[in-house]
Amino acid sequence: MAAGLENAVVRLLRERPFYGQFLLNLRREERPLDGKPAGITVRDGIPILAVDPAHLEALPPRQQCNLLEHLVKHLLHLHPLRRKERNRHDWDISCDLAINPGLGELPAGAVYPADYGVLDGLAAEEYYTRLSRRFDLGNLSGSGFGDADQEAEGAQGAGGDLELGQTLDDHALWDEADSTPFALGEEMVRSITRESLRGSDGEAPEEVRAVVAALLRPAPIPWRQVLRQFVATAGRTGRTGTWMREHRRFGHDTPGIRKRHRLNLLVGVDVSDSTNIVELREAFARELLQIAKGRDATLTVLYANSRIQAIEVLKGAPAVLERHDGGGFTDLRPVFEYAKTLHPLPAAVIYLTDGIGPAPEQMEFPTLWVLTGAGEKPVPWGIELRLEV
């Protein structure tokens, strides 16, 4: 972790622990960000905090912390996932208007509702509706309008012009969020929020208490939908570049795409007493096999408690998942150790468990924890899904 980022996160852990804990649950990358100090996005179901160390460290310490809070609020409000077909520039500004008033000192150039003659406290969609100009032609990358007179063409009630505004962070990264279905992204943010509350004595800051409560009391999302979306996202990551064939659009200077025709998934099934529920295991097995059949996938199924008890490899149809009962206590680490030995490596790991047992501190494989109703997510990483049957 870059020194400036590390120091800012430490300050947040001490002064604003919920935000500090949230940032610790994000995958971090250092990269140039077109002059911006940081940005946040979701890529293939994984939350990413991107930082340009030189630009971040150029800010005063207090502004660094407030900028990081700004990024966390974008994720809490699911802003990267909610853009849909809206004009990108105007949506980006509207999202900043929705969250900046609740923050302390921000870097120069931060936009506020007063700059546009509107009230504080509105949602991004409300600012977008009130301030975004209507346009007939053009693409979604710019502001969507030309050089018409501002006084005649300005948005109703606006004291400024959205075209003139700039975001504090790099919203170009939000294009990457298109790789993640909304329900899966929401489940991921919900999981991180739970972990952040656990690490901060269950207390969310007052200014985000309502949005946190809404995340933790969501409308029910069918578990089958989240499982299908996770597998679909894993399938998209199974693409590799190859110089053996030129790219169809960009010619010889760009590698082509070689698709892995078969999707490889590793499935862990906890056979300890706590998951020995016939209806639960059968529902999970039926859905997973149906998904795998439709995607031409190979399932490597590990039945494990404190060690791996049995292994099955399923390809094509017909196929069934056998029943194995192991009892005893659970150690979640052997399944992930086995995953590292597979060739090719699995695109993702799906683990049916109550989550009670030691697990690796970190893992490079996208992971879906399919937990029983009373189960506990064992580690901060991975996406949590509650299996209710």
**What is the 3-state secondary structure of 123-190?**
CHHHHHHHHCCCCCCCCCCCCCCCCCCHHHHCCCCCCCCHHHCCCCCCHHHHHHHHHCCHHHHHHHHH
Q: Are 383 and 191 in contact (CB under 8 A)?
A: yes
In this structure, what DSSP letter does residue 248 have?
Answer: T
Model confidence pLDDT, tens digit, residues 116-135: 888 898 899 989 888 876 43
Type and span of the H or E element at 120: none
Q: pLDDT value at position 263?
A: 85
Amino acid, single-letter form, for residue 197: L
Look at the chain and count its residues. Answer: 389
Which residues, at least 6 apart from 137, have a Cβ–Cβ distance to it below 8 Å? Answer: none
Q: Among all chains, which residue has been given the structure tokens 């690490």? A: 199
Q: Are 140 and 175 in contact (CB under 8 A)?
A: no
Could you give the residue ranges of the DSSP H alpha helices within 60-123?
Answer: 61-76, 88-99
Domain range 223-386, CATH class: alpha beta
Q: pLDDT value at position 147?
A: 41
- Whole-angstrom CA distances from 372 to 103, 149, 304, 360 are 38, 60, 16, 20
The b-or-e profile of 18-28 (16+ CB within 10 A means b, else e) is bbbbbbbbbee
Q: pLDDT value at position 321?
A: 58
Phi-psi region of 103 (alpha: psi -120 to 50; beta: other; left: phi over 0): beta
- Cα(202)–Cα(18) distance, rounded to whole angstroms? 9
Q: pLDDT value at position 72?
A: 97
Q: pLDDT value at position 150?
A: 37
Q: pLDDT value at position 322?
A: 60
Q: Of 287, 220, 235, nearest to 44 (Cα)? A: 235
Domain(s) of CATH 3.40.50: residues in the chain: 223-386
In the chain the first and final C-alpha atoms are separated, in Å, by 42
pLDDT lower than 50: segments of the chain: 134-140, 143-160, 239-250, 252-254, 257, 318
Can you give the pTM of this predicted structure? Answer: 0.65
Q: Among all chains, which residue has been given the structure tokens 């309008």? A: 145
Q: pLDDT value at position 242?
A: 46
